[in-house]
Amino acid sequence: MPKNMFNTLFSTVYSAIMETVGLLAEPIQRWLGTQRMGYFFVLPNMLIFGVFILFPMLLNFYYAMTGGTQLFPQDRPFVGLSNFERLFTCGDFLNPNTCVEDRFWRAVFNTIVFVVFQVGGMVLLALITALILNRKIVGRGFFRSVFFYPVLLSPVVVALIWKWILQRDGLLNALIVSLGGERTLFLLNSNWATFWAIVVSIWAQMGFYMLILLAGLQAIPKELYEAADIDGANSWQSFQYVTMPLLMPTMLVVLVLSLIRAVQVFDQIFVLTGGGPGTSTFYMVQYIYVTGFSNQIQQFGLASAASVVLGLTLLVFTLIQLRLGRTNAY
């Protein structure tokens, strides 16, 4: 098809669509006025947000204050804050065994440990990897791809691969035994299971954050490094006074995203360890799932209350980080 014909066809179709939109928009503009016309354009997005995010969120708040096993909100008795009271009744908050909902607190502590080590470890490793891959090294493109590939895998596939590696008769134990070592129950010992849950999670996600940091590093003007060089700054000083300050906004994005994702951890670990051994890798989202769905008596109210707590915690973390980001803005 000649180019001119294509352009003519395209502009005809485009004009037809715009005229149709205009037919609808013009009377609305007359009614709303030009100033408020912006609301009309964001309305579709707001509707989707309202129906699929805001409404379920509000419904979740309501469920958190209801009891019983009925599914529909109108059938559920209102119980006020008793679900929250149940979650927060503890003899000693540092000892889950003294709490009425001990598994909730085990899940909370497990999630805290996971978040601290997973986010900390991952951001550090992603930064180091990004710094290395930002240099002109041999096979840079290859290594960038290699680090990013695990991100493309489904969490279930990642978990199954690692399960084959880590189980009693898995690859790692086969290697250890062939080297004369003793078989280790990596997924059946609490400490090992926690360690591997964190490692697997870092392995699966690090490439994504590395890529964001790499983009941040490449956005730093070369002139600044040259200026630092002229001023006699060594490599560490360049990193400390040029790279880090300018990378901070990107770091903040990475921190917020990875933290939210870490708190929401579920599918990968559920397949890898099932939350075990015992409750060693039992995290908050699994608690919500088990309480709300996998028991014969499905306690939607308690599960909703726990998810409200989880949501508020995430909100607080995010606000703190944004605040810190603003304070440290360069």
Q: Is the dihedral of CA 136, 137, 142, 146 positive or negative?
A: negative
| Interaction of residue 168 with another protein, rule CB under 8 A | yes
Residue 318: closest CA among 65, 104, 194, 326: 326
Q: Which is nearer to another protein, 129 or 273 (CB)?
A: 273
Rounded CA separation 57/308 (Å): 9
Place of tokens 């290395």: 132
Q: How far is the CB of 56 from another protein (least distance, A)?
A: 15
Q: Name the token pair of 99.
A: 């709490």
Q: Name the token pair of 76.
A: 């559920």
Q: Which is nearer to another protein, 187 or 242 (CB)?
A: 187
Q: Which is nearer to another protein, 172 or 290 (CB)?
A: 290
Residue 121 CB neighbour total at 10 angstroms? 15
Q: Which is nearer to another protein, 187 or 214 (CB)?
A: 187
Q: Name every residue whose Cβ is closer than 8 Å to that of residue 140 and which is 6 or more positions away in sequence.
A: 133
Rounded CA separation 121/202 (Å): 7
Q: Which is nearer to another protein, 73 or 221 (CB)?
A: 73
Positions in 256-315 near another protein (CB under 8 A): 273-282, 286, 290, 293-299, 301-302
Q: Which is nearer to another protein, 207 or 275 (CB)?
A: 275
Place of tokens 């009425």: 100
Rounded CA separation 230/243 (Å): 16
| Interaction of residue 95 with another protein, rule CB under 8 A | no
Q: How far is the CB of 160 from another protein (least distance, A)?
A: 15
Element (H, E) at 198: helix 190-218
Q: How far is the CB of 185 from another protein (least distance, A)?
A: 7
Positions in 36-55 near another protein (CB under 8 A): none
> x-or-dash pattern for another protein, window 179-208, by CB under 8 A?
------x-xx-x------------------
Listing DSSP states for 141-154 in one string gives HHHHHHHHHHHHS-
Q: Name the token pair of 118.
A: 């997973």
Q: How far is the CB of 57 from another protein (least distance, A)?
A: 20
The stretches of 264-299 forming alpha helices (DSSP H) are 267-272, 284-289
| Interaction of residue 170 with another protein, rule CB under 8 A | no
DSSP-assigned letter for residue 277? S
Q: Which is nearer to another protein, 25 or 290 (CB)?
A: 290
The stretches of the chain forming alpha helices (DSSP H) are 3-32, 37-49, 55-64, 82-87, 102-133, 140-152, 155-166, 171-178, 190-218, 222-230, 235-238, 244-263, 267-272, 284-289, 300-327
Q: Which is nearer to another protein, 209 or 300 (CB)?
A: 300
> x-or-dash pattern for another protein, window 68-87, by CB under 8 A?
xxxxx----x-x--------
Q: How far is the CB of 204 from another protein (least distance, A)?
A: 20
Q: Which is nearer to another protein, 289 or 317 (CB)?
A: 289
- Amino acid identity of residue 149, one-letter, is Y
Which residue in the set 28, 32, 67, 113 belongs to the binding site for another protein (CB under 8 A)?
A: 67
> x-or-dash pattern for another protein, window 147-166, by CB under 8 A?
--------------------
The residues that touch another protein, with contacts defined as CB under 8 A, are: 67-72, 77, 79, 97, 100, 102, 106, 167-168, 185, 187-188, 190, 273-282, 286, 290, 293-299, 301-302
